[in-house]
Amino acid sequence: MQTIEQFLESNNIRVTAMRLLIYKFLDKKQVAVTLTDIENAFEKADRTTLYRTIKTFEEKAIVHQIDDGTGTIKYALCEQGCTCEIGTDLHLHFHCNNCNETVCLTDLKIPQIKVPDGFISENVNLVVKGICDKCSGQ
């Protein structure tokens, strides 16, 4: 099994203490997190370093952005082997209207959508909103 260090290096990401900490933080989360959540978890860290780490992870398909309609972008780790490509790696997200958490439903893939000629798809985001299993008690 690959260590986090080996995983980052295999994705051409220089291993630093902060990158390891942020990766471990995201890996422990069962829900998508905001940049503010990350800042709050690492209060003594430089905001710019945190932002650059997330952007580096995003560029290398380690994390993906989720626009769940709340007005705040959230981030979650990608599945291993993900390239975040339209038509192959995109999955559903669920946003709970009660607890305000957003989770990846990686088993539910977004089908490839053919747009009319002349249109170019750059991003696809499908968010289901409702009450999560924790809040519904089921």
104 is in an annotated binding site: no
Q: Provide the edge-to-edge strand list for the sheet that holds 127-130.
A: 102-109, 91-96, 127-130
Residue type, 11: N
Annotated binding site: 96, 99, 132, 135
Annotated binding site for Zn(2+): 96, 99, 132, 135
